[in-house]
Amino acid sequence: MKAKRQLAIFTMMLIRFAGIANAEYVETMDPNGLTKNAGADYGLVDDNAIANQSDVIQKAIDDIAATGGGRLIVPKGTYRFARVRLQSNVHLLIEKDTVIKPYWPAGEKTVVFDLDSERPTQRKQVTIEHEKVFIENVSIRGLGGRWIIDYSDRQRAKGEGVRGILAKMVRNFLIADLDIKDNYSVYCGITLTPIQTMSETSDWPVSRATDGTVRNCRIFNASPGYGLTQLHGAQSVHFEDLYAEGGVTLRLETGAVGDKTAVYDITGKNIVNENGRCAVMLGPHSAMNGVVKIDGVKSISSAFAVTIGKGGVKEAELKNNPDATDGIFAKGSYVKDIHAVFGKHAQVKTHVFLCIPEEYRNELDLRWENKFFEGPSIGAVRDTTEGHYKVIVEDVTMEDFKYNADKPIMTERDSPSGKWGAAVAKWKSEHGVSNRSDK
């Protein structure tokens, strides 16, 4: 019965979103409307991020929202914030070169900006009515140029994690002009996710980050297990001019745990990755996703430009939902205009070790918690769907590849035979590498 219910929900969602195409943020900011300055009007102090001034910026946002909305300018400086929650019709304009450091106590997880409605912190106190509330018509953007979230001074530690921006129950939103300075931390810099509802079906129009644009954003020194943007759940969102050094630039990894994690009507343009895993990752796990359309992808010294996974149900998901099945991306999804440039500083996961040409294996450096090598680019596109679903891939070009240049789209048939685990263990033994834990 659960499987039939899941199929019915998926069909309903596709019908609901069928008339939506290439949706994105619609400008609602009035340049002549109410404008406040967080420094001059609310006492925000450029103290080089010594004190946590989250309460100052939150009061300014709340006051502007109470008047019906407007613009809040954050003057150039270096500040420390955490869990700052936007309110409907408030637009945050952050002056060029402003640096925001997260308030991030040791041993904790945090987020700098929340694009989400307010709900009780105790799960038992949350009602279905709470879960129908969302914010709308909001933006965080640069004023005169790029602004910065910087947590590059923190070493990765167990039990800790940080997100620059978390978008959940929000409709009509813009995130723009952001540089994130990372240090191989846990979590992606910008995360879009659904709400885990109390009801069996979502019968209201917004249950995830909806109708938005993410543009002109970058991350540096991203962990290979994370990256710039992560989409657990999103609807009608456009991504443009994104760059990641390390990790994954646009990560559509959905359905890891929870059948309500899925994306619909996602578009992307000009997605670039350097010295990382890939620019675009499609990994459905157990989610029945809608259409994804990406045009313009480039990788520079990354393992791949694009990876498309078959999916697969996580063990934790099976405990919650024994009827869960391998996920998909809907018919009509595509990734086009892909260019991969070879290099030797890619983040290469150990499970593709057998795909690394023998010539380069002595140059490998095992890093990032013993799960990833720093090593050579392997190819342009890796498609392991094995016919489970179809993503159209067109216009693939490769530059400076000595190996796999004749295989712009690599499938499971192109993987050498053998067991990667045994091959990695042998490589470790030959190179005197222990099971150390790196950042």
Residue pLDDT, tens place only, 68-123 = 999 999 999 999 999 999 999 999 999 999 999 999 999 999 999 999 998 887 77
Based on the number of CB atoms within 10 Å of its own CB, is 250 exposed (0-12), middle (13-18) or buried (19 or more)?
Answer: buried
From the CA atom positions of the chain, what is the Rg in Å?
Answer: 22
**217 CB-contact burial (10 Å; exposed 0-12 / middle 13-18 / buried 19+):** buried
Residue environment code for 140-160, b if the CB has 16+ CB neighbours within 10 A, otherwise e: bbbbeebbbbbbeebebeeeb
Strand locations in 261-343, DSSP E?
A: 263-274, 278-283, 288-289, 292-300, 306-308, 328-329, 334-341
Q: Which residue's entry shows tokens 């019709």?
A: 89
CA atoms of 246 and 274, how far apart (whole Å): 6
Q: CA-to-CA distance for 390 and 91, rounded, in angstroms?
A: 39
**Phi, psi for residue 86 in degrees, rounded to 5:** -70, 155
Provide φ and ψ at 355, rounded to 5°: -80, -10
| Residue % of the chain over a pLDDT of 70 | 90
According to CATH, the superfamily of the domain at 232-439 is: Single-stranded right-handed beta-helix, Pectin lyase-like (2.160.20.10)
More confident residue, 335 or 24: 335
What does the domain layout of the chain look like in residue ranges?
A: 34-182+199-221, 232-439
% of the chain at pLDDT higher than 90:
77
pLDDT at 280 over 70: yes
pLDDT at 23: 67
Vertex 352, ends 162 and 407: CA angle to 5°? 115
The residues facing 62 across adjacent strands are none
Element (DSSP H or E) covering residue 150: strand 147-150
Q: Which of 131-140, 248-257, 295-304, 308-317 has the highest mean pLDDT?
A: 295-304
Confirm whether 34-182+199-221 and 232-439 share one CATH topology: yes
**Nearest Cα to Cα of residue 71 among 100, 102, 95:** 95
Contact 98, 68 (CB under 8 A): no
User: What pLDDT, on a 0 to 100 scale, did the predictor assign at position 198?
Assistant: 64
pLDDT score of 7 more than 80:
no
Position 300 pLDDT exceeds 90: yes
Q: Which CATH architecture has domain 34-182+199-221?
A: 3 Solenoid (2.160)
pLDDT in tens, 371-428: 999 999 999 999 999 999 999 999 999 999 999 999 999 999 988 889 999 999 999 9
CA trace torsion 206, 286, 293, 111 (10° rounding): 60
Average pLDDT on 115-140 reads 87
CB 75 within 8 A of CB 37: yes
Q: Quick check: 9 pLDDT over 60? A: no
Pairing verdict, β 99-102 and 409-410: unpaired
CB burial of residue 28 (10 Å; 0-12, 13-18, 19+): middle
